[in-house]
């Protein structure tokens, strides 16, 4: 299996490793078959790796003890392609130069290339899933893609809004991040033959995990180091994205609002990150994320029509461990 899948492989049971390997091979073939202007930066994006959490969720929700069907592998590849596309576009919009320790497509190949690569990956995701000949699956991914777009638009509208309400933040996270986690779980459960009830419960599991994942990611933006996160510290502060630890910090210390809104140079951003990292707002945001993980774990108590409960529990726990 490609080294790019290894971080996730460490989290899962042996029975899922071959499925992840099949997904990785499918992704590599899809990206490599594009025209040179897209294939080169697209392959670099794929080679940068990632946790492959979304494909893992597809496979785990599809069921254990059997080789995944072609439709399930296609669904796993499709959700990862959508995720890759959003990262390429997000890096362009945010002006990010590094991701996972490597130059972003926008930084290494320019803005035009980033638009083209993101568009190509996005289109290929739906072409791949259409090949599964499951119209309902395409509808699920399309709905998630629409949510992703709405979440991105909401984030842009709320730039530097230091009065952003917690509810507005959570709705944005639900659309921009959790929707694709939820879609991955629903696709896996549906294509694996799960009942309507199990599909609904696993979709709720995916959404809860996605919410926790993004909140922890927002915490790491101010507490983590570039060496551990693979990107510049304080990226949210730079582009005006107000996150949950900032919201909680402002609620208890209103004077922070001006500092967050008017932060300018790199030294000021580093100092503000240090200040926020020590603030009680970070601990409060962490507890909010843990509550979502608790909700996700509760879903796994009842029968799941053969879904890999052990792998799903490892994913939920891994979201917390990622912060530790």
- Which residue segments constitute the domains of the chain, with CATH numbers given? 3-323 (1.10.600.10)
The pLDDT score that the predictor gives to residue 131 is 95
Residue 67 has pLDDT above 60, yes or no: yes
- How far is residue 222 from each of residues 91, 145, 282, measured CA to CA in Å? 18, 28, 9
Residue 155 has pLDDT above 70, yes or no: yes
Residue 15 has pLDDT above 70, yes or no: no
Computed over every residue of the chain, the mean pLDDT equals 90
The pLDDT score that the predictor gives to residue 184 is 98
- Model confidence band, residue 268 (pLDDT cutoffs 50, 70, 90): very high
- pLDDT: is 307 or 90 the higher one? 307
The pLDDT score that the predictor gives to residue 112 is 85
- Model confidence band, residue 304 (pLDDT cutoffs 50, 70, 90): very high
For the chain, the first-to-last Cα distance in angstroms comes to: 28
The pLDDT score that the predictor gives to residue 6 is 41
For the chain, the residue count is: 324
C-alpha to C-alpha distance for 138 and 40, rounded to whole angstroms: 27
Residue 7 has pLDDT above 70, yes or no: no
Half-sphere CA count of 78, side-chain side, radius 13 A: 29
In b/e form, how buried is each residue of 276-306, taking b as 16+ CB within 10 angstroms? bbebebbebbbebbbebbebbbebbeeebbb
Residue 50 has pLDDT above 90, yes or no: no
pTM of the model: 0.92
Mean pLDDT of 178-200: 97
C-alpha to C-alpha distance for 272 and 292, rounded to whole angstroms: 27
Cβ atoms 111, 130 nearer than 8 A? no
pLDDT in tens, 87-118: 888 878 777 777 766 788 878 778 888 888 89
Q: Which of 182, 170, 175, 120 is nearest to 153 (CA)?
A: 175
Cβ atoms 213, 105 nearer than 8 A? no
């Amino acid at each position: 299996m490609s080294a790019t899948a290894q971080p996730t492989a460490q989290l899962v049971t042996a029975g899922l490793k071959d499925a992840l390997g099949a997904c990785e091979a499918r992704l590599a073939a899809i990206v490599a078959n594009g025209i040179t202007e897209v294939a080169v930066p697209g392959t670099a994006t794929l080679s940068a790796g990632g946790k492959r959490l979304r494909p893992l969720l597809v496979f785990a929700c599809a069921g254990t003890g059997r080789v995944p069907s072609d439709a399930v592998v296609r669904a796993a590849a499709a959700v990862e392609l959508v995720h890759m596309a959003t990262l390429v576009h997000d890096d362009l919009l945010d002006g990010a130069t590094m991701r996972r320790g490597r130059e972003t497509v926008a930084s290494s190949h320019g803005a035009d290339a980033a638009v083209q690569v993101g568009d190509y990956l996005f289109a290929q995701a739906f072409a791949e899933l259409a090949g599964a000949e499951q119209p309902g699956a395409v509808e699920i991914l399309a709905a998630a893609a629409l949510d992703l777009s709405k979440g991105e638009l909401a984030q842009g509208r709320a730039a530097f809004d230091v009065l952003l309400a917690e509810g507005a933040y959570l709705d944005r996270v639900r659309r921009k991040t959790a929707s694709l986690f939820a879609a991955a779980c629903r696709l896996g459960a549906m294509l694996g033959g799960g009942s309507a009830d199990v599909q609904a419960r696993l979709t709720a599991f995916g959404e809860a995990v996605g919410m926790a994942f993004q909140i922890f990611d927002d915490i790491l933006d101010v507490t983590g180091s570039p060496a551990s996160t693979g990107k510049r510290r304080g990226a949210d502060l730079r582009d005006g994205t107000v996150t949950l630890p900032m919201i909680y910090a402002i609620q208890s210390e209103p004077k922070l609002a001006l500092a967050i809104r008017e932060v300018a140079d790199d030294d000021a951003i580093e100092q503000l990150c240090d200040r926020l990292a020590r603030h009680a707002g970070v601990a409060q945001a962490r507890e909010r994320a843990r509550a979502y993980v608790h909700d996700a774990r509760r879903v796994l108590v009842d029968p799941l029509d053969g879904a890999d409960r052990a792998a799903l529990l490892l994913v939920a726990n891994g979201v917390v461990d990622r912060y530790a």
